[in-house]
Structure 1
Amino acid sequence: MRIPKINIPKKYLKIGAWVLGVFLIVCMALGAVAYSKREALLKKMMAKAIAKADKDYGLDIKIGSAGFAGLSTVKMTQISVVPKDRDTLSHIEELSIGVKLFPLIFGNVKLSEVKLRDGFVSIVLKDSITNIDFLLKRKKKDNTEAKGKADLSEIASNILNQVLYKIPDDMDMKNMVLKFNDNDTAKLSFATTAIIDGGDLKSSINVNNGESTWHVDGLVKPGKRKLSFTAYADGKKLELPYLNNKLHAKLSFDTLQTELKDAGYSGDDFKISGSWSVKNMLINQPRIASKDIIVQSAKLDADVLVGKNYVALDSSSTAFLKNASIHPFIKYTLSPNKIYELKLNAEEQDAQSVFDAFPQGLFESLEGLKVKGKIKYNLNFYLDSKLPDSVRFSSTLTPVDFKILQWGKTNLQKINSPFVYTPYEYGKPMRDITIGPSNSNFTPLTSISSNFKNAVLTAEDPSFFTHNGFVEESIRKSIAVNYKEKKFKRGGSTISMQLVKNVYLSRQKTLARKAEEILIVWLIEHNHLVSKQRMLEVYFNIMELGQNIYGIGEASRYYFGKQPADLTIGEGIFLANIVPKPKAAMYKFAGDGGLKPYLFNYFRYMGNIMARRGLTPADTSGYGFYNVRLREGLRKYLTPDTVAIDTNAFDEDGDVAPVVMQDQNKNLFDRLFGGGSKKDTTSKQITSPADTTKSKKQLRQERREQRKKEREQEDGG
């Protein structure tokens, strides 16, 4: 295509030239005036900024000298920042900052050069106050002035832009020290020297006055929204000393790499793409695992989406552990309701690669396990904070031609033959118990009364013979209950899980042990390594049923002086009742050896469920409640009956027996890992009147008087 020639009259060209010349002259004149006045303007702007910092945030900022060095570079000396009534936050001997002129036209401050000599930033925590409290004032002020709901995508975009704009094209930093003091119990010091030259970053960080030397090197291209950093230490692992000193945890690694690949809007969402990888990372924290956990190689290719009201790790992200991979999706919605979503999708892959990918030290009993075939995994979790009862949960690990070729440290079929079981109390072994015919207390499943078997299965795991180790509905309900109560009140363990926890695993209550428990249960159930009948038989012979009483053989003789085969329906329900808190068993008996009245409703409730399922005949009198009698020889050890129990407080609604399954005084980790059934409850003696012949009216009157006394004591305290 030929562009037609345009003829412009000469007089118009001359007019245009004159206009352009006048414009340039005016700009030069204005520039000259601004240049001559820039020192005064700089002082005025600094004075205004210092006054604002003092008024709004209580910051005392002092600058020894300030002036221009070149066209767009400001040099300052003796800069100090001291929050009111707090320790000095920062002091810098010399600082030069250069800005790019073109972005200033659009109101953006883009750094072109930074030179810093001899400075420090010191963060000090003292009790509940710090010398960065002024940041909270700013946050409160910003929230007050904000109109309407904030758009998170816009905030993310603005923050990232501000960070990128503050990264200079060239930087020369010498002896800049970051200090951190946490109540004098943990102190950190990072003396940093860093250079950015043409986008190449080189740095050296002296940690705690020579304890180690770190390096953070990389490529910095903020204009293209591309950053990459590699962190490592000289001659040793890069370790975070604060975790050791303050949190009794250890975290170290050979190298840590992170990269920002791209950032920008994708539709209405702000999308940040990057990666994170680590080599030979070591983790040691008693709540996670009892030994060092070593992650040899891990990487996350992440796509983070920030929407108007949510933040999400997109499902296009991929996490790698050695040669195994999984696609995570995590989403947190802030409004109008808080919503938590988690999805994990591991596509079908080589099973051995998956087991080899487990961090060293995480699953001790499975180390060395050899398998063949493939596996895939899917997890789906969704919780709306306004509708916790509608929580969704599913977890599926699917084997494809999967087979175990060689055991690891533990033979998962060991319980198919006689073995020695060692129960623990408070971390100490009690005694060795042989689970086999050589032990006179060992009772085969066929010699155990169906009354006991049915009562325990009804209370603990009704679908034991049909599930594959886990009951998703039970887990789902547990999540809903625990979320509403804001504490771990209900567990979702099956008999399979309880058996694995006690027989195969160590007694440390850690996250790693819980994860290992779940994996071993899956291996046993899906590969049919142990029959359901044998699992139940072993469980009945190792379960704790009292103070140093283990197994149904010991328990039936101890409480009732009879064989397990002769247990009545009432005795079976009683023993099922004490499974969650076995050490409290003796406090359920009245002085005459009968059961205390508050247990009647439990018997009626459990008995009705068993009757509906055809496990026992219907009985309106309490399913053997009145026939349960402690053997004569133990009655002298019973405590006096002193406190009335409100039998009307028992809730008969729901699908499971409303029995306290965990000790609510324990913390989250203890409850998660089985602490509830091991707590010594002998210090909490709950007794009730031995006179069971009292009328209901008399009992109600006694309860009212007891509650009145308790209220008076509380008011008096």
Structure 2
Amino acid sequence: MQLPKIKIPKKYLKIGAWVLGVLALLFVAGGAIAYSKREALLNKMVAKAIAKAEKDYGLDVKIGEYGFNGLSSVHMNKVSVVPKDRDTLTTINDITVGVKLLPLLFGDVKLSEVTLNEGKLNVVLRDTLTNIDFILKRKKKDSSTTKSKVDLSEIANNLLNQVFYKIPDDMEIKNFMMQLNDNDTAFVKFLTTTATIDGGELKSTIKVNDTAAVWHINGNLDPSDKQLDVMLFADGRKVELPYLENKLHTKVNFDTVKTQMKDASFSGGDYKISGSWAIKNLLINQPRISAEDIVVPDARVEADMLIGANFVCLDSTSTVFLRDASVHPYLKYTLSPNKIYEMKLNAPEQDAQAIFNSFPVGLFESLDGIKVQGKLKYNLDFYLDTTLPDSVKFSSTLTPTDFKVLHFGKTDLTKINSDFVYTPYEYGKPMRNITIGPSNPNFTRLDDISPNFKNALLTAEDPSFFRHKGFVEESIRKSIAVNFKEKKFKRGGSTISMQLVKNVFLSRKKTLVRKAEEILIVWLIENNRLVSKSRMLEVYFNIIEMGNNVYGIGEASRHYFGKSPSELTIGEGIFLANIVPKPKVALYKFMSNGSLKGYLLPYFRYIGNIMARRGLATSDSTGYGFYNVRLREGLRQYLLPDSTTIDTNAVDIGEDDMMTPEGMQDKSKNLFDRLFGGAAKKDTTKVQPAADTTKKKKQLRQERREERRRQKEQEKNGN
């Protein structure tokens, strides 16, 4: 098909030519005028920037000389930035910065080149002050303007644009030092001897702490398409992070780490960032995480991050790969109108041995070398609206298909099916070896333990023990709600199965990894029926701590009441169940005549009524044996005088010692210590002033010292 010819009269062509000519002339004239006045404009802009830095941020900015270098590049030397009353932040000997003209016409500052020769960035931390505090200063707001709603997706888009705009097409940096001084106790220095960008290819050489190591950050950058692919590695050795080791006692090193951004754009109203992150031979050693080195040979994350108007989310299309195993995480944090936390983990059905092989080396010591068959699938669902914490949702399911343990690792998880030796620990030190079997005269078979004690302890600690498979989701859910509302670990969710595994199979070092190992071992034992419920309960009753150097129901019943476990009354059973969470304060619950203190009566009625409703005890309005409990004569000499009031319910203990979900926590510990057990245990018994207010503090201190002396003598004599 031939297009028709269009004839344009010559007069119109002449008019068009004149218009274009005039516009070109005006553009050239304007450019010439701007070019002739650019030095004056530059002086004005620099003066304005220096004044603004001082007024808004308290920065003293000095520039020795500056001026244009070519059409669109500015050259400066002897540049310094000093925050008010702080150490010098930056010094630069010589720098040239070029911008792209076309984007500049539309208000976007995009760098075309950066050349820097000798400079220093010096961050100094002194107590709570730093020389980068100015970054946190807020700009003064115009009180006449109304506060508008913040759109996180727009913020993310603008921020990422600014980052990529500042990546130049061409760059050459020589001898730029970045240094951190943390209270003169930890130092780290990075000297970039060379760093170049040429045609999108990034190459760099960085000296760490003078001669400690040489790092390289190499890769490819494409700012216009918001893409990058960079890798960090060291010459002839692993990349190490000395600052973490010196400051936080955390050793971290790896062979290589690679980061890739594939795309960043709006998708369905949300801002989507797609990329990946991979690391080789990562090693972590942190005492509160694990007592051993944890080594991750190969890990990779394919991530899709969504940023909406009011939320940030790691989408479920993301995948975490550990060797041959994979899991899809979903994390979402909603800021408004309510703060909401969501987490989902979905590990599709895959080979069980591949999952166990994917565990980092040194993570689960007792399972090292385990051989299994079959398949496993895992799902976790967590949802917490901070305005409705009681409605928190939690579910965790590990589903097996034809799963079977073929060979145990370092630890035989069936060892408690026969006689074995148990070693209790206190304050990190072994107390004594206890044989769990008939050769021990204090060992008591389950059938020989009074139902009064068995029923009281199960009622108080783990009512569904014979029905659950190691975990009680409702208990965990309630614990999350309570702990969130209290802003501390007030309630735990441990079952008897978890307490048994923790004490028998695992080390006494309190670490995050040990808790995860505990959960996995409980699942293996319970779901594969490696040990019967009755045997688990029997072992638990014979190892449970019930006083100072008192372990098991056999020792406890003779220690406190001078009788065998089969002879325990309902009152004695409820009392022994009561001391399990805080066994070391058991004697403080008695009056000098051997009877119980009155504040325990509500507890007896509470547990007794539950037992009665479940048909485990006869209904009793008098207190379910409370008034008939008597401490044996031989122990009464160690009791404090009745004039000294001890509130044993105020005694706080750490989660690791908590045998009941209702146990309280040590309020003096911070969150990290509560999770990982940072500090050594302390005697948290709180002695309150006596009812007799005439008694002086000196007398009370003397009584406490005498009581401690008596307890030591008691332990020595084995009473």
Any idea what the Cα deviations from partners look like across 1:580-604, whole Å, max 9, x if unmatched?
A: 0000001001000000010011101
In structure 2, C-alpha distance between the alignment counterparts of 1:579 and 1:138, rounded to whole Å: 53
In structure 2, C-alpha distance between the alignment counterparts of 1:396 and 1:144, rounded to whole Å: 55
In structure 2, do the counterparts of structure 1 residues 658 and 429 end up closer, same or farther at CA, with 3 Å as the change threshold?
Answer: closer
Structure 2 partner of 1:29:
29
Return the match for 1:663 from 662, 666, 687.
Answer: 666
Give the Å deviation of 1:140. 6.9
Aligned-partner SS, 1:228? strand
Any idea what the Cα deviations from partners look like across 1:455-482, whole Å, max 9, x if unmatched?
A: 0000110000000000000000000000
TM-score, normalization by structure 2 = 0.92
Alignment partner of 1:128 is 2:135: no
Aligned-partner SS, 1:220? strand
Give the Å deviation of 1:579. 0.4
In structure 2, do the counterparts of structure 1 residues 203 and 292 end up closer, same or farther at CA, with 3 Å as the change threshold?
Answer: same
Contact 2:288 2:678 in 1 (8 A): no
In structure 2, C-alpha distance between the alignment counterparts of 1:414 and 1:212, rounded to whole Å: 48
> What amino acid sits opposite 1:99 in the alignment?
V
Give the Å deviation of 1:683. 4.6
In structure 2, C-alpha distance between the alignment counterparts of 1:320 and 1:8, rounded to whole Å: 66
Any idea what the Cα deviations from partners look like across 1:535-554, whole Å, max 9, x if unmatched?
A: 00000000000000000000
In structure 2, C-alpha distance between the alignment counterparts of 1:211 and 1:647, rounded to whole Å: 55
Structure 2 partner of 1:684:
686
Structure 1 partner of 2:323:
322
In structure 1, C-alpha distance between the alignment counterparts of 2:466 and 2:677, rounded to whole Å: 23
Contact 2:493 2:661 in 1 (8 A): no
Moved over 2 A (4+): 1-4, 138-147, 642-649, 656-676, 678-689
Where does 1:270-309 land on structure 2 (aligned, <5 Å)?
270-309=271-310
> What amino acid sits opposite 2:383 in the alignment?
Y
Aligned-partner SS, 1:29? helix
User: Which stretch of the first structure deviates more once superposed, 619-628 or 124-133?
Assistant: 124-133
Structure 2 partner of 1:577:
578
Structure 2 partner of 1:423:
424
> What amino acid sits opposite 2:195 in the alignment?
A
In structure 2, C-alpha distance between the alignment counterparts of 1:60 and 1:112, rounded to whole Å: 28
Where does 1:399-478 land on structure 2 (aligned, <5 Å)?
399-478=400-479
Aligned-partner SS, 1:35? helix
Structure 2 partner of 1:715:
none
In structure 2, C-alpha distance between the alignment counterparts of 1:96 and 1:125, rounded to whole Å: 30
Contact 2:585 2:685 in 1 (8 A): no
> What amino acid sits opposite 2:46 in the alignment?
M
Aligned-partner SS, 2:502? helix
Structure 2 partner of 1:694:
none
> What amino acid sits opposite 1:55 in the alignment?
K
Give the Å deviation of 1:4. 2.5
Any idea what the Cα deviations from partners look like across 1:298-330, whole Å, max 9, x if unmatched?
A: 011000000001100000000001110000000
In structure 1, C-alpha distance between the alignment counterparts of 2:212 and 2:71, rounded to whole Å: 42
In structure 2, C-alpha distance between the alignment counterparts of 1:238 and 1:674, rounded to whole Å: 29
CA RMSD between the two structures: 2.2
Give the Å deviation of 1:144. 10
Any idea what the Cα deviations from partners look like across 1:327-372, whole Å, max 9, x if unmatched?
A: 0000001111110000000000000000000001110000100001
Structure 2 partner of 1:155:
155
Any idea what the Cα deviations from partners look like across 1:632-664, whole Å, max 9, x if unmatched?
A: 111111111224579999xxxxxx999544333
Structure 1 partner of 2:50:
50
Structure 1 partner of 2:612:
611
Where does 1:574-653 land on structure 2 (aligned, <5 Å)?
574-643=575-644
Give the Å deviation of 1:665. 3.2
Give the Å deviation of 1:669. 4.6
Aligned-partner SS, 1:475? helix
Contact 1:509 1:669 in 2 (8 A): no
In structure 1, C-alpha distance between the alignment counterparts of 2:145 and 2:77, rounded to whole Å: 35
In structure 2, do the counterparts of structure 1 residues 681 and 200 end up closer, same or farther at CA, with 3 Å as the change threshold?
Answer: same
Contact 1:97 1:111 in 2 (8 A): yes
Give the Å deviation of 1:679. 5.2
Structure 1 partner of 2:509:
508
Contact 1:220 1:226 in 2 (8 A): yes
Contact 1:610 1:616 in 2 (8 A): yes
Any idea what the Cα deviations from partners look like across 1:100-121, whole Å, max 9, x if unmatched?
A: 1111111101101100000011
Contact 2:647 2:687 in 1 (8 A): no
In structure 1, C-alpha distance between the alignment counterparts of 2:612 and 2:90, rounded to whole Å: 75
Any idea what the Cα deviations from partners look like across 1:509-563, whole Å, max 9, x if unmatched?
A: 0000000000000000000000000000000000000000000000000000000
In structure 2, do the counterparts of structure 1 residues 646 and 409 end up closer, same or farther at CA, with 3 Å as the change threshold?
Answer: closer
In structure 1, C-alpha distance between the alignment counterparts of 2:396 and 2:602, rounded to whole Å: 36
User: Which stretch of the first structure deviates more once superposed, 96-105 or 379-388?
Assistant: 96-105
Aligned-partner SS, 2:137? helix
In structure 2, C-alpha distance between the alignment counterparts of 1:94 and 1:392, rounded to whole Å: 58
Alignment partner of 1:100 is 2:103: no
- How many corresponding residue pairs? 686
In structure 2, C-alpha distance between the alignment counterparts of 1:195 and 1:143, rounded to whole Å: 46
In structure 2, do the counterparts of structure 1 residues 179 and 680 end up closer, same or farther at CA, with 3 Å as the change threshold?
Answer: closer
In structure 2, do the counterparts of structure 1 residues 463 and 178 end up closer, same or farther at CA, with 3 Å as the change threshold?
Answer: same
In structure 1, C-alpha distance between the alignment counterparts of 2:144 and 2:313, rounded to whole Å: 27
Where does 1:142-221 land on structure 2 (aligned, <5 Å)?
147-192=147-192, 193-221=194-222
Aligned-partner SS, 1:374? strand
Any idea what the Cα deviations from partners look like across 1:177-233, whole Å, max 9, x if unmatched?
A: 111111111111111120001000000111111111111000010011110110011
Any idea what the Cα deviations from partners look like across 1:20-59, whole Å, max 9, x if unmatched?
A: 0111111111111111111121111111111111111111
Structure 1 partner of 2:110:
110
In structure 1, C-alpha distance between the alignment counterparts of 2:75 and 2:222, rounded to whole Å: 25
Contact 2:648 2:685 in 1 (8 A): no
> What amino acid sits opposite 2:97 in the alignment?
I
In structure 2, do the counterparts of structure 1 residues 43 and 139 end up closer, same or farther at CA, with 3 Å as the change threshold?
Answer: closer
Alignment partner of 1:138 is 2:138: yes
> What amino acid sits opposite 1:668 in the alignment?
L
Contact 2:645 2:687 in 1 (8 A): no
Give the Å deviation of 1:69. 1.1
Contact 1:662 1:675 in 2 (8 A): no
Contact 1:587 1:686 in 2 (8 A): no
In structure 1, C-alpha distance between the alignment counterparts of 2:268 and 2:121, rounded to whole Å: 40
Alignment partner of 1:64 is 2:67: no
Contact 2:588 2:646 in 1 (8 A): no
User: Which stretch of the first structure deviates more once superposed, 483-492 or 664-673?
Assistant: 664-673
> What amino acid sits opposite 2:51 in the alignment?
A
Structure 2 partner of 1:709:
none
In structure 2, do the counterparts of structure 1 residues 576 and 377 end up closer, same or farther at CA, with 3 Å as the change threshold?
Answer: same
In structure 2, C-alpha distance between the alignment counterparts of 1:534 and 1:686, rounded to whole Å: 42
Aligned-partner SS, 2:546? coil
In structure 2, C-alpha distance between the alignment counterparts of 1:445 and 1:253, rounded to whole Å: 51
In structure 1, C-alpha distance between the alignment counterparts of 2:684 and 2:186, rounded to whole Å: 40
In structure 2, C-alpha distance between the alignment counterparts of 1:646 and 1:582, rounded to whole Å: 14
In structure 1, C-alpha distance between the alignment counterparts of 2:476 and 2:139, rounded to whole Å: 39
Structure 1 partner of 2:233:
232
Aligned-partner SS, 2:557? helix
Contact 1:373 1:402 in 2 (8 A): yes
Give the Å deviation of 1:6. 1.3
Contact 2:115 2:172 in 1 (8 A): yes
User: Which stretch of the first structure deviates more once superposed, 615-624 or 97-106?
Assistant: 97-106
Any idea what the Cα deviations from partners look like across 1:651-710, whole Å, max 9, x if unmatched?
A: xxxxx999544333344355446899x956475357988xxxxxxxxxxxx99x99xxxx
Aligned-partner SS, 2:373? strand
Contact 2:94 2:118 in 1 (8 A): yes
- The gaps in structure 1 that reach 5 residues or longer are 650-655, 690-701, 707-717
In structure 2, do the counterparts of structure 1 residues 646 and 229 end up closer, same or farther at CA, with 3 Å as the change threshold?
Answer: closer
In structure 2, C-alpha distance between the alignment counterparts of 1:195 and 1:256, rounded to whole Å: 20
> What amino acid sits opposite 2:375 in the alignment?
K
In structure 1, C-alpha distance between the alignment counterparts of 2:663 and 2:248, rounded to whole Å: 32
Contact 1:584 1:682 in 2 (8 A): no
